[in-house]
Homo-oligomer: A and B are copies of this chain.
């Protein structure tokens, strides 16, 4: 996947213009952000921010996938968030973060220096409101994930994960139709779902064997049986309710 070069791109041409923190801004407000923004790029695997590190900038994710993760002293790690394009990194009123932020794929961020951005938030209600919405969306997502982590079986976790990917990935027109990218290693998926990588692998195989999904290669799959997938998530006991 080639990463588009963004230097010099105006906000109006930005792919996340209508979903990111700037979504509700009018032309005037957008102008202010335009003057503040800088782009940063990261290679897959790079750490974007370390837990506890002072936060120099906040940012919107433009391209790629990033993850938030927490680690216990003995090395067990749990992903606590998955950032897709238009998601926001950083938060008003906090100077450090409680988790590591890592580039899962190659990533491009649209960055703002923290202090001036906060000043702008204070007198731009459109930005403040959108920030609140984004935080509440994250909270909803976190709570759904708590249900998954606490109560779902390995099979249901995998099915839910696939289902979420399908819903959230605005499939690029460039991609093969029906082929959905799996932008993480088995190990990363395991850390997201609270499983081991072996269990992740086994459950993918099981879903494939059952004819629910199929892999074109290890990082692209298709849904064969949408109904079966929904059922496997554990969210619907009644098949009639699905879809």
Contact = CB atoms under 8 A, between A and B. Distances in A.
Identical subunits present:
2
Interface residues of A, number: 45
A238 B73 CA distance: 8
A136 interface: yes
B140 A139 contact: no
B135 A78 contact: no
Given A139-B142, A143-B68, A143-B70, A78 B132 contact: no
Given A72-B235, A122-B125, A132-B135, 17 more contacts: A72-B147, A72-B151, A72-B152, A73-B235, A73-B238, A76-B151, A80-B143, A80-B147, A91-B136, A93-B132, A98-B140, A132-B132, A139-B139, A142-B146, A149-B149, A149-B150, A151-B194
27 contacts: A68-B143, A70-B147, A72-B235, A72-B237, A73-B235, A73-B238, A76-B151, A76-B234, A78-B146, A78-B151, A80-B147, A81-B143, A93-B129, A93-B132, A93-B136, A98-B144, A122-B125, A128-B132, A132-B132, A132-B135, A135-B135, A139-B139, A142-B146, A149-B149, A149-B150, A149-B194, A150-B193
